[in-house]
A = this chain, B = another copy of it.
């Protein structure tokens, strides 16, 4: 029995989360475990409109006892500016629950059209390990001489040995358990001349502990280019908060899966609940139409099950996604070239799990 906090959030989050839940329940049924799901309405624009905050003051003790958080999407800029809604919810969760690893798989799936020429499933299969609590996403800084010609705005990037080493250790451990055992570090030490040379030093120090992992590094500009030119080169890519953010959108874009990629915000020590959310956002442009692709959310369910130790169930969910993609063309949502709906695709995947 696992206790799961369910937070649909905004926009298509509220449409895809029920399909994610449906598949989780089907997997629980098939594999003989049970889920205690509790839904929350905070971390949404609707909550903000009612309360003037994104979260209740007791959100932390409320969520902390859960084994995991199953999250949809947050952000509705016509009601609340993004930096307010994000810093008031998702970015709080990541920090306060010390989810210092953001794990994002990039995989070419069968039946999904890649924007890259001549690539086939199996050829692209890597994971971005993003630092998730510090780095470029700090709230230290401010403005001086405001409103004048001398106006100057500062923001500090903060890297700590504690913060850098723990995400690197996770990435090296993770890479050492994969077949390719290859780790690429994203840097920019030729231009960002203080924090990034430090990042490189820590990578070199950590690499010495993992002689079985082949390690290389690319500057972020060249790395972004190589995601397009040579995606087959990558296995595990470790990056700072900002670089990881960019790479984990670019990677799924290259595999044509931006709308369906999952992500896991993990506290590896399990002192706090980890959070699972699709890479896509609330998508105001298609929200309310019932056509959002639920695969990202369902794939998040698979990552959550793996994190909880239900590996067989996790693999079954991923298998159900892959087989639905290649065999249930009618159920697919419009973004995949189908005529189905969020629900029909969710039902198709859940159906395969029940079999």
Contact = CB atoms under 8 A, between A and B. Distances in A.
A1 interface: no
A249 interface: yes
Interface stretch (A3-11, A54-62, A193-201): A193-201
A160 interface: yes
**Tally of this chain's copies:** 2
A323 interface: no
A162 interface: yes
Nearest to A161: B151
In this complex, the interface size class of chain A, counting residues with CB under 8 Å from chain B, is 35 or more
A198 B153 contact: yes
A142 interface: yes
Contacts of A82: 189-190
Interface stretch (A12-20, A170-178, A224-232, A285-293): A224-232
Contacts of A115: 116-117, 228-229
A83 B197 contact: yes
A143 B201 CA distance: 13
A250 interface: yes
B156 A154 contact: yes
Interface in A238-296: 241-242, 245-246, 248-250, 252-254, 258
A159 B222 CA distance: 25
A242 B192 contact: yes
A221 B194 CA distance: 23
Nearest to A77: B190
A195 B254 CA distance: 29
Interface string A129-149: 000000011010111000011
Given A141-B157, A225-B258, 15 more contacts: A81-B197, A83-B189, A83-B197, A115-B116, A115-B228, A115-B229, A150-B161, A155-B193, A192-B242, A220-B245, A221-B249, A225-B249, A225-B252, A225-B253, A226-B253
Q: Which 8 A-B pairs have the closest CB atoms?
A: A225-B253, A221-B249, A82-B190, A151-B161, A155-B194, A117-B117, A141-B194, A155-B195
27 contacts: A83-B190, A83-B191, A83-B193, A115-B228, A115-B229, A116-B117, A117-B117, A141-B194, A148-B161, A150-B161, A152-B161, A153-B198, A154-B157, A154-B158, A154-B159, A155-B193, A157-B157, A191-B245, A192-B242, A220-B245, A221-B245, A221-B248, A224-B224, A224-B249, A225-B250, A225-B252, A250-B250
